[in-house]
Amino acid sequence: MSMTRDTKVTYGLLALFGIFGPILFPDYTLSIAYLWMMVLMASTWDTLGGQMGYNSLGNITFFGVGMYVSAIVQVSFFYEGGVAEYTSAMGSIKPEFTPAEYFWGLGLGILAAGVVGLVLSVIFSSFMFGLRGPYFAIGSLGLAIAVAEVTITIDYVGGASGISMPLFPGDIEFRSTFFYILCFVLTIISHFLLRWLYSTQFGLAINAIRDDEDKAEAMGIPTLAYKRIGWAIPAFFMGCIGAVAGNMAGFIDKEVAYPIPTFGIFMVAMALLGGKGTLWGPVLGAIIFHVIKEATWTYLLNLQWVALGLILIINIVYFQQGIMGWLQTKYPERFGIVVDTSTVTDADGKEAA
């Protein structure tokens, strides 16, 4: 993985911010944790949406499923009564987990959440990838709504009344620092995995699928297999981050686990704002979006959702190429893009050589 000087500086600055941000501004630790979470969501959405051209509106499904799976794992491993008894008590049972039990449960829960997300995505792949363009987007949105609606009919996981997560063994500052580190580390892992993947043959193959799937298939690329992997990676990370988010929230129900109109659409908006189909676009978009979101939260009390909706519309309608796309057309040479001047007509309208 060779890096240019700019990239190294960017990583350095981000690492400095990631490490010293919560130390310097301890009140904002959880807010910065959500920032990394959104970077992860936007980046992994971009694998499927930007790099592979399958615009999903349903990646949030894995987030919610991950949340519920980790809750089940965390409760069932160390509480003798079982999950059904725990959820039917509606939060009145507060099992005392020792720190070791809690952290083991959490670790296993996150891993299980990722794996279940991955398995689920492979199952979905079998009946979703015959859909193209808008049908895939609508189908995946339908999938997310359907899974959310089915979840609240299952009494085992608390039905419509939700589950309260096990209590964190430690004080509130340690709690936020701990979840901050989890979010930060997961985001770093996902970023470098994607960075590496986009530089391999896998990256080329999914880009080929985006550009012309029929031709890609004709060239002998096993498109379905690549598409499965292309959805399994986002699904795994969405499951893991869902498990973390569930524990951060402390209580999960349909609204927390399947935030389709909020995070479900924000991740798409962030990737588009930064510029989809690039590695850095979603990161940049997530950072800008999060700053705007926090600012509107603070200064525009009841109107914050209206403001976010407006931002989304303006972004999509008037500024679709995104920041990275705009920069690439403005300064192509900074991105190592060689503009072939031989076919570009000069100012007089004559062909230059």
Partner 1 sequence: MWDNLQLLFVWAPIINVQVILDGIFVGAVFALSAYGLALVWGVMNIKNLAQGDFVIMGGYMALALHQLHVPLVLILLIVMPLMFMFGWVIYVLMIRRIIDQDMFVSLLATFGLSLLLQQVMNLIFGPEVQTIDMELPVYDAFDNMVTVPSSKLITLGLAAVIATGVIIFMKRSRAGQAIRATAQDPRAARVLGIDIDRVYAFTFAFNAALCGAAGVLVSIIWVIQPFYGITYSVRSFAIVTAAGLGNLPAVIGAGFGIGLFEKYTGAILGTAYEVAAPVSILLLVLIWRQIQMRRNRQVVR
Q: Which are the contacts of 102, defined by CB distance < 8 A and separation ≥ 6? A: 74, 78, 166, 168, 169
The residue within the footprint of partner 1, chosen from 32, 143, 194, 256 (CB under 8 A), is 143
Report the distance separating Cα 205 and Cα 199, nearest Å: 11
Report the distance separating Cα 114 and Cα 106, nearest Å: 12
The residue within the footprint of partner 1, chosen from 8, 94, 132, 215 (CB under 8 A), is 132
Shortest Cβ 159–partner 1 spacing (Å):
9
Give 138 or 185: the residue with its C-beta nearer to partner 1: 138
Report the distance separating Cα 99 and Cα 101, nearest Å: 5
Shortest Cβ 24–partner 1 spacing (Å):
34
- Binding map of partner 1 across residues 292-331, x = CB under 8 A, - = no contact: ----------xx-xx-xxx-xx--xxx-x-----------
Binding status of residue 146 toward partner 1 by CB under 8 A: yes
Binding status of residue 150 toward partner 1 by CB under 8 A: yes
Report the distance separating Cα 286 and Cα 280, nearest Å: 10
Binding status of residue 153 toward partner 1 by CB under 8 A: yes
Q: Name the residue type at position 123.
A: I
Q: What three-state secondary structure class fits 352?
A: coil
Q: Which helix (H) or strand (E) holds 175?
A: helix 172-198
Phi-psi region of 92 (alpha: psi -120 to 50; beta: other; left: phi over 0): alpha
Closest CA to 22 of 12, 11, 36, 9: 36
Shortest Cβ 313–partner 1 spacing (Å):
4
Span from 83-91, 141-149, 239-247, 287-295 in contact with partner 1 (CB under 8 A): 141-149
Q: How many residues bind partner 1 (CB under 8 A)?
A: 40
Span from 22-30, 233-241, 260-268, 284-292 in contact with partner 1 (CB under 8 A): 260-268
Residues 23-82, interacting with partner 1 (CB under 8 A)? 55, 57
Q: What three-state secondary structure class fits 164?
A: strand
Report the distance separating Cα 306 and Cα 113, nearest Å: 33
Q: Which residues bind partner 1 (CB under 8 A)?
A: 55, 57, 127, 130-135, 137-139, 141-143, 145-146, 149-150, 152-153, 160, 261, 265, 268-269, 272, 302-303, 305-306, 308-310, 312-313, 316-318, 320
